[in-house]
Amino acid sequence: MLRRLTALGLGLVLLAGCGTEGLRETPADPGATSPATVEITTADAQAAFDGLGDLPDAWKNRDCAEIEQLTTGVESTIGSGVCTAARDGYAAPAFRAYDDPEFLLPRREDGEAGAWFAVLARKPQPAYFVFVWADGRWRLGAGPIPLVGKAPNVKDGADGAVFDAEAVPDAAVAARLAPTRHVAFLTDPSGVNGAGVSGVRFASGDPMRRLLVELVGAPGRARPDRLTTDVRIEGPARALALPGGGALVFHALRVVFTQKPGSGRSSLAHPRYRAAVVRAFTGGTATTVTGGEIVVLATKVAKDTTMTTVGMRRVLADITKGSGQGSG
């Protein structure tokens, strides 16, 4: 059974406010040298999850300030660009209400990536959510991340505990490498057939294989326009240790498309983004356009380091005028 770990550096009870609960500290025994244990209760997690009920109205009303208050990390990045564009006519996707949650509350050591927990909501369709303690309250850091595969069991069979991957050395290594290995795979054209020089492999039906095929073929489909692609890590990864080894990693990538007219042309022949969408994000028209699409992922990394996409959501996060750095 995985050992119980204590948390460092939270000497005070932190209260969330705004309808959510905070982090609670359980003091160590008198005379003990170990730090106090900080745990997230189910009531805390339920209160934070219930706070998602404010997001549908915030998106419906294009209330960018409220969205900023309710989100952090990758969701804040998405919200800041998309909400502003939605005010200028972009048809932003509606945020749906979710229910039937299973709370995944990791035991962890403070100081690695900040306090956080995950939720697997079963209705209306299974999706993961990641909540992060930021600026004195629980905020949505990632989600929804709709399931595209089978959700792995993350609970230790002995007592049903869930552990932050940072608390388990082997799982920590797998979790830290997952985003980098994704970038290596998606920037390796030879991996289209499943055996690239990067050494990273996904099963034939995995969404990452399809995304790589799309990225490799994009420049050819855009001709005579010149289109380049790039893949970058977007924000920190957070992960839960799997009982049999490996980790369930929640992370994000930014896929960047830069498109400019071909030689001798003054406009795009096959624009990737419609003129109305470009106008909503940039306020006008552009000859050279750079679009940032964020892919939010839940990835199972097995003990042997093989990776399987469990959950995935792809969002157009921003469009800018002019060139970005790209390759491909």
pLDDT in tens, 225-238: 999 999 999 999 99
Per-residue pLDDT averaged across 196-224, rounded? 90
Better-predicted residue by pLDDT, 144 or 25: 144
Residue 146 has a pLDDT of 97
The two three-digit tokens of residue 258, written as one number: 């830069």
Helix H or strand E encompassing 204: none
Range with lowest mean pLDDT among 46-60, 159-173, 270-284:
159-173
> Which range, 169-173, 312-316, 319-323, is most confident?
312-316
Q: Give the model's pLDDT for residue 1.
A: 34
Average pLDDT score, the chain? 84
254 vs 231: CA distance, rounded Å: 6
**For the ranges 198-202, 203-207, 304-308, which has the lowest average pLDDT?**
198-202
CA 123 to chain centre: 20
Looking at residue 161, the DSSP 8-state letter turns out to be: -
Global pTM reads 0.86
Q: Cite the beta strand spans of the chain per DSSP E.
A: 24-26, 37-39, 99-104, 106-107, 116-123, 127-134, 137-146, 162-163, 226-233, 238-241, 247-260, 289-301, 307-321
Residue 105 amino acid letter:
L
Round to whole Å and give the CA distance between 32 and 160. Answer: 26
Rounded percentage of the chain residues whose pLDDT exceeds 90: 66
Whole-angstrom distance, CA of residue 138 vs CA of residue 116:
8
Is the predicted pLDDT of residue 110 greater than 60, yes or no?
Answer: no
Residues 6 or more apart whose Cβ sits within 8 Å of residue 30: none
- The predicted structure's pLDDT at residue 262: 92
Tokens of 264: 């001798």
